[in-house]
């Protein structure tokens, strides 16, 4: 990807807009770039977790990434999207248990997968793309030995900021779509209770 | 930006069999089993894009057993006995013999730039890489790209058709399986000896199959470690990655049933009758109504 005149222009106008609104309430200064903040926060924490990896241990890394996952991801929405239309047929207590189960799975998988530092770094594409009401932030995990891995984040506005609702591996494999497919059978055959049990097993497996 | 082919699964049905032992977690727990029927409960319709799910799941278990009993042990034996440089030499040489097929498909896809790169790669590796034993071109910025008739069919609008999980070969689709047969027919017909000999074909298939099994070992393990229903997770990943391969050639998206980039992802809780169960028996919510096929918009660029 080379210099993109459109991006330069929007960046310039974004700066101009930011300056002109400097005294206005911050709520009006919501530029698309605000969508980068949660991604940046997540990437920074993952690098810190990798650097502190062995000392922190699995539970240390999970404790450190937990609050970041809560702030960066819209876990309730991700859970609803993963379950799909049948979400509305799940009891309120199972609904909140499912959100907690998805949280635990996400936290444990991050703690398990980003556990050691070997010179990796994340680069975040400054151009934020718009997908309907959502934003797409592209990043790349640059590694010393292996080729870089493209990781994209789809974000949706939530309250005053943006939150991640889906993660794309190599710009093509959606975590949400994969989970939706992966969980469908257990949910359809055993309902929310069976899914909860299986999600807990899966999260615990990541911790080993 | 061309979406790089993901590492797994392979673009063509990889001659690799299925994985290792896995805690089979897709049976419902006893306390909820009342609601569950055995293998393919009637009320569960097959997943989108997978009308042959029943057959496919049987093949998936077959491959899993075959892998556990024969393929993985054989692959690990091959890895132990044959030193790494010899394995990579063989891998490179076989991949090099595949470049003419990649080239042919680059041409059929009207991609002169890709065709030129493939041609240069083949020439460099054949001449300076000792008949392809060394992948010299990779270090010159010309990495191997997967390409075949499955992609060419997709390029001209042929949809993947039903998902297929093939014995020994693994994930595919009707389109990709037909493409794979076409790919395999090129050299025997165009060149003849030794490509049309059965012993050559079986020998190279076994070697590349074992080699692929070694290379994907950790990915296969990850699949089992991180999914509840490895069959369904792999199907989703395969369909998404193939859709991305085709999109990279056509420059527009060819949304797979799973493509969330092209889905507006409507919040189920935002529907009018969205109160947690019991309260409202979800009136009229058709089982698959909330995942609207989004109108094609700007694809991943």
- Of A198-207, B68-77, B86-95, B288-297, the one with minimum mean pLDDT is B288-297
Quick one: average pLDDT of B118-122? Answer: 91
Residue B57 CB contacts under 8 Å (≥ 6 apart), including other chains: B39, B40, B165, B231
Give start and end residues of each alpha helix (H) in B109-166. Answer: 112-127, 136-139, 149-155
Q: What are the chain B neighbours of A181 within 8 Å (beta carbons)?
A: 47, 229, 232-233, 235-236, 258
Task: Of A64, A47, A68, give the one whose Cα is nearest residue A143.
Answer: A47
Which range has the top average pLDDT, A20-29, B39-48, B234-243? B234-243
What is the C-alpha to C-alpha distance for residues A41 and A38, in angstroms, rounded to an integer? 5
Of B25, B236, B267, the CB nearest to A77: B267
Question: Which of B229, B258, B268 is nearest residue A174 as measured by Cβ atoms?
Answer: B258
In chain B, what residues touch A193 (CB-CB under 8 Å)? 29, 31-32
Taking only the tens of pLDDT, chain A with its 208 residues reads 344 443 434 444 444 444 444 444 444 344 547 899 999 999 999 999 999 988 999 999 999 999 999 999 999 999 999 999 999 999 999 999 999 999 999 999 999 989 999 999 999 999 998 888 899 999 999 999 888 999 999 999 988 899 999 999 988 899 999 999 999 999 999 999 999 999 999 999 887 6
Q: Cβ-count burial of B83 within 10 angstroms (0-12 exposed, 13-18 middle, 19+ buried)?
A: exposed
Instruction: State which residue of chain B sits closest to A106, comparing Cα positions.
Output: B226
* B59 pLDDT more than 90: yes
Instruction: Compare B253 and B265 and report the one with higher pLDDT.
Output: B265
**Residue B49 pLDDT more than 90?**
no
Q: Could you give the CA distance from residue A35 to residue B201 in angstroms, rounded to a whole number? A: 53
pLDDT in the model for residue B257? 54
Query: Is pLDDT at B117 greater than 70 in this prediction?
Result: yes
Quick check: B236 and A181 CB within 8 A?
Answer: yes
Q: Which residue has the tokens 């799973």?
A: B258
pLDDT tens digits for range A39-90: 999 999 999 999 998 899 999 999 999 999 999 999 999 999 999 999 999 9
What would the pLDDT profile of B152-195 be if each residue is shown by its tens digit? 999 999 999 999 999 988 999 999 999 999 998 888 888 888 88
Task: Identify from A76, A79, A85 which residue to disrupt to test chain B contact, counting B C-beta atoms within 10 A and taking the largest count.
Answer: A85
Contact A167, A76 (CB under 8 A): no
- For residue B9, whether the previous peptide bond is cis, meaning omega lies within 30 degrees of 0, is yes
ipTM: 0.79
Of A80, A154, A168, the CB nearest to B268: A80
pLDDT at residue number A104: 96
Highest mean pLDDT among A121-125, B14-18, B263-267: A121-125
Q: Per-residue confidence at B18, pLDDT binned at 50, 70, 90?
A: very low
Q: What integer pLDDT is reported at residue B77 of this predicted model?
A: 93
- CB B162, CB B52: distance < 8 Å: yes
Q: Mutate one of B28, B45, B275 to test the A interface: name it (highest A CB count within 10 A).
A: B28
A165 vs B247, B265, B290: nearest CB:
B265
* The overall pTM is greater than 0.90: no
Query: Which ranges of chain A would DSSP assign to H, the alpha helix?
Result: 5-20, 36-72, 75-83, 92-113, 175-206
| Cβ burial B157-170 (10 Å sphere, 16+ → b, else e) | ebebebbbbbebbb
Q: Does residue B295 have a pLDDT over 50?
A: no
CA distance A56 to A45: 13
pLDDT category at B136 given cuts 50, 70, 90 is confident
**Chain A residues lying within 8 Å of B288, measured CB to CB:** 84-85
Whether residue A170 and residue B264 make contact (CB cut-off 8 A), yes or no, is no
| Residue B206 confidence (pLDDT) above 80 | yes
Q: What is the DSSP letter of A156?
A: E
Task: Please tell me which of the candidates B35, B225, B244 has its beta carbon nearest to residue A205.
Answer: B225
- In angstroms, the separation between the Cα of residue A92 and the nearest Cα of chain B is 5
Distance from C-alpha of A192 to C-alpha of B279, rounded to nearest angstrom: 17
Cβ within 8 Å, pair B265-A81: yes
Average pLDDT value over all residues in chain B: 77
How far, CA to CA in Å, does A169 sit from each of A54, A176, B147?
A: 26, 11, 21
């Amino acid at each position: 990807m080379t210099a993109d005149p459109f991006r330069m222009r929007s960046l310039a106008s974004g700066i101009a807009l930011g300056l002109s609104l400097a005294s206005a309430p911050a709520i009006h200064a919501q530029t698309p770039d605000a969508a980068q903040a949660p991604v940046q926060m997540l990437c920074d924490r993952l690098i810190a977790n990798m650097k502190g990896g062995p000392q922190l241990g699995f539970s240390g890394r999970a404790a450190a990434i937990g609050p970041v996952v809560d702030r960066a991801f819209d876990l309730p929405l991700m859970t609803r999207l993963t379950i799909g239309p049948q979400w509305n047929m799940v009891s309120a207590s199972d609904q909140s248990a499912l959100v907690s189960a998805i949280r635990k799975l996400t936290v444990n998988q991050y703690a398990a997968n980003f556990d050691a530092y070997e010179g990796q770094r994340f680069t975040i594409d400054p151009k934020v793309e718009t997908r309907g009401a959502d934003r797409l932030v592209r990043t790349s995990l640059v590694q010393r030995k292996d080729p870089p891995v493209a990781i994209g984040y789809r974000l949706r506005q939530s309250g005053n900021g943006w939150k991640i609702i889906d993660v794309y591996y190599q710009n093509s494999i959606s975590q949400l779509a994969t989970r939706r497919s992966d969980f469908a059978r257990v949910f359809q055959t055993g309902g929310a209770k069976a899914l909860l049990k299986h999600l807990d097993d899966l999260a615990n497996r990541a911790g080993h | 930006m061309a979406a790089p082919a993901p590492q797994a699964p392979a673009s063509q049905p990889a001659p690799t069999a299925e994985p290792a032992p896995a805690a089979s977690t897709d049976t419902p727990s006893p306390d909820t089993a009342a609601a569950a029927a055995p293998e393919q409960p009637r009320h569960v319709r097959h997943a989108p894009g997978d009308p042959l799910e029943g057959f496919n799941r049987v093949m998936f278990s077959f491959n899993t057993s075959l892998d556990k009993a024969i393929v993985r042990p054989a692959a690990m034996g091959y890895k132990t006995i044959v030193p790494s440089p010899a394995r990579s030499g063989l891998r490179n040489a076989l991949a090099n013999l595949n470049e003419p097929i990649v080239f042919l498909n680059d041409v059929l896809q009207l991609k002169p730039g890709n065709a030129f790169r493939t041609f240069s790669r083949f020439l460099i590796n054949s001449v300076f890489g000792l008949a392809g034993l060394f992948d010299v071109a990779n270090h010159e910025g010309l990495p191997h790209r997967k390409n075949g008739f499955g992609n060419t069919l997709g390029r001209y609008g042929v949809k993947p058709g039903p998902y297929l999980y093939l014995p020994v070969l693994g994930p595919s689709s009707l389109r990709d399986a037909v493409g794979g047969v076409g790919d395999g027919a090129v050299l025997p017909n165009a060149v003849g000896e030794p490509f049309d000999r059965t012993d050559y074909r079986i020998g190279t298939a076994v070697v590349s199959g074992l080699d692929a099994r070694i290379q994907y070992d950790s990915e296969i393990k990850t699949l089992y470690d991180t999914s509840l229903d490895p069959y369904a997770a792999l199907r989703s990943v395969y369909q998404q990655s193939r859709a991305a391969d085709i999109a990279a050639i056509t420059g527009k998206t060819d949304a797979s049933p799973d493509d969330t980039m092209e889905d507006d992802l409507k919040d189920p809780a935002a529907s009018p009758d969205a109160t947690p169960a019991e309260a409202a028996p979800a009136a009229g919510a058709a089982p698959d109504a909330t995942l609207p096929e989004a109108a094609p918009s700007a694809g991943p660029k």
